Structure 1
Amino acid sequence: MIPAEHNQEYYKALLEKRSEYEGVFYVGVKTTGVFCRPTCPARKPKYENCEFYETAQQALLASYRPCQRCRPLSHPNHVSDIVRQLVDVVEKNPEKRWKQQDFKNLSVDESTARRQFKKRFGMTFVEYARARRMGLALKNIRGGQTIIDTQLSTGYESSSGFRDAFSRIMGAAPTLLADNKILKASWIDTKLGPMIAIGDEDAIYLLEFVDRRGLEREVERLRIRTKSAIIPGTTGPIESIESELSQYFNGKLTEFKTSLCLLGSPFQKSVWEQLMRIPPGETRSYSDIAISLGKPSAFRAAAQANGANQLAIVIPCHRVINSNGDLGGYGGGLARKSWLLHHEKQSPSN
Structure 2
Amino acid sequence: MLFDLPDHDVLYRALLDRDPAYDGHVYVGVTSTGVFCRLTCPARKPNIENTRFFDSVAGCFEAGFRPCLRCRPLDPIGQREPVVSALLRALEHEPERVWSEDDLVGMGYDPSTVRRTFKRQLGLTFLDMARLRRAGLGLDELGAGQRVIDAQQAAGYASGSGFRDAVVRLLGDSPVHLRGRELLKAAWIPTPIGDMLAVADMHALHLLEFFDRTALPAELKKLREATRSAITFGRTPVIDQIEAELGHYFAGTLQAFKTRLVLHGSPFTKAIWDELVTIVPGTTCSYAELAAQAGRHTAVRAAARANGANQLAIVIPCHRVIGANGSLTGYGGGLWRKDWLLRHEQKVRAALTA
Match of 1:232 in 2: 233
Q: CA deviation at 1:63?
A: 3.2
Match of 1:58 in 2: 120
Mapped pair 1:334 → 2:325: no
Q: CA deviation at 1:175?
A: 5.4
The question of whether the paired residues in 2 share the 8 Å contact of 1:182 and 1:231 is answered with yes
Q: CA deviation at 1:161?
A: 1.8
Match of 2:194 in 1: 193
The question of whether the paired residues in 2 share the 8 Å contact of 1:309 and 1:315 is answered with yes
Change (3 A) 1:147 1:266: same
Q: CA deviation at 1:276?
A: 0.3
Structure 1 residues 1-350: aligned runs within 5 Å: 30=87, 45-46=108-109, 58-59=120-121, 61-64=123-126, 136=128, 140=132, 146-147=137-138, 158-174=159-175, 176-347=177-348, 348=351
Q: CA deviation at 1:223?
A: 0.2
Letter in 1 for 2:327: D
Change (3 A) 1:57 1:301: farther
Distance in 2 between residues matched to 1:7 and 1:33, nearest whole Å? 33
> TM-score, with normalisation over the residues of structure 1?
0.61
- CA RMSD between the two structures: 4.1
Letter in 1 for 2:197: I
Q: What SS does the corresponding residue of 1:162 show, helix, strand or coil?
A: helix
Q: CA deviation at 1:292?
A: 1.0
Distance in 1 between residues matched to 2:263 and 2:271, nearest whole Å? 10
Q: What SS does the corresponding residue of 2:260 show, helix, strand or coil?
A: coil
Distance in 2 between residues matched to 1:262 and 1:148, nearest whole Å? 25
Distance in 2 between residues matched to 1:324 and 1:209, nearest whole Å? 27
Q: CA deviation at 1:60?
A: 6.4
Letter in 1 for 2:162: G
Q: What SS does the corresponding residue of 2:218 show, helix, strand or coil?
A: helix
Change (3 A) 1:156 1:327: farther
> TM-score, with normalisation over the residues of structure 2?
0.61
- List structure 1 runs of 4+ shifted beyond 4 angstroms: 5-9, 27-34, 42-47, 49-54, 136-139, 148-152, 154-157
Distance in 2 between residues matched to 1:186 and 1:222, nearest whole Å? 15
Q: CA deviation at 1:210?
A: 0.6
Q: What SS does the corresponding residue of 1:243 show, helix, strand or coil?
A: helix
Distance in 1 between residues matched to 2:301 and 2:42, nearest whole Å? 48
Change (3 A) 1:51 1:270: farther
Letter in 2 for 1:241: I
The question of whether the paired residues in 2 share the 8 Å contact of 1:62 and 1:139 is answered with no
Deviations 1:120-150 (A, max 9, x none): xxxxxxxxxxxxxxxx579646x99633999
Q: What SS does the corresponding residue of 1:146 show, helix, strand or coil?
A: helix
Change (3 A) 1:230 1:280: same
The question of whether the paired residues in 1 share the 8 Å contact of 2:199 and 2:208 is answered with yes
* Residue-pair matches, total: 253
Distance in 2 between residues matched to 1:163 and 1:137, nearest whole Å? 17
Distance in 2 between residues matched to 1:338 and 1:155, nearest whole Å? 44
Q: CA deviation at 1:151?
A: 8.1
Distance in 2 between residues matched to 1:328 and 1:305, nearest whole Å? 14
Q: Larger Rg: 1 or 2?
A: 2
Q: What SS does the corresponding residue of 2:339 show, helix, strand or coil?
A: helix
Change (3 A) 1:349 1:201: farther
Larger relative contact order (Cα-Cα within 8 Å, sequence gap ≥ 6) = 2
Letter in 1 for 2:251: N
Gaps of 5+ in 2: 1-19, 24-37, 44-69, 71-80, 91-98, 141-150
The question of whether the paired residues in 2 share the 8 Å contact of 1:144 and 1:233 is answered with no
Distance in 2 between residues matched to 1:346 and 1:51, nearest whole Å? 36
Using the aligned pairs only, state the percent identity: 44
Change (3 A) 1:60 1:151: farther
Distance in 1 between residues matched to 2:171 and 2:214, nearest whole Å? 16
Distance in 1 between residues matched to 2:113 and 2:263, nearest whole Å? 38
Letter in 1 for 2:120: Q
Distance in 2 between residues matched to 1:50 and 1:144, nearest whole Å? 25
